Amino acid sequence: MNRASIIDTSHWSGPVDWNKAFSSGAAGMYTKASQLANDDTFAPNWKNAKGLLPRGAFHYLDWEKSELVQAKLFTDTMGGDWGELPPSLDLEMDPTPFKLTPALVQGKVWNWLQAVEKTTGKVPMIYCGAS
């Protein structure tokens, strides 16, 4: 079986049958751990996918709160189980309405990445949208 797809889940996805995902050929999973609070589906997704698929968690960076507070929320939500895939920062929120310059955005992203790497020992990756 060709395992090529990585599943991306959050509370928007609803419950996931991880046995079915594995048997359908999923190669891994990323699940939302946090934004301004922890994602309600993180704990069951994280637990139920363990041992079936390589797991990664992501944080949706929200410009309304300190990036360092958000990095701590993310790592606290993971509870010391860093998964098998690198942590990921989801950069889809448009910084323009918050009047953030590219330099400020870069600094906030860098701060988050460094804080998460320091805590987890893993180099995070970035997922981003067009904005």
Render pLDDT for 39-61 as a digit per residue (tens, 0 to 9).
999 999 999 999 999 999 999 99
| Tokens found for residue 54 | 């390589």
Known catalytic membership, residue 17 = no
Q: How far is CA 72 from CA 57, 61, 126, in A?
A: 14, 12, 17
| Tokens found for residue 74 | 């993310």
For the chain, the average pLDDT equals 93
Q: Which of 8, 62, 84, 117 is catalytic?
A: 8
The residue with greater pLDDT, 101 or 3, is 101
Taking the model in full, what pTM does it have?
A: 0.92
| Mean pLDDT to the nearest integer, 107-114 | 98
Q: Which residue is listed with tokens 């790497």?
A: 117
Residue 131 pLDDT > 90: no
**Bridge partners for 31 per DSSP:** 9, 57
Q: Which of 17, 76, 92, 94 is catalytic?
A: 92
| Mean pLDDT to the nearest integer, 80-87 | 98
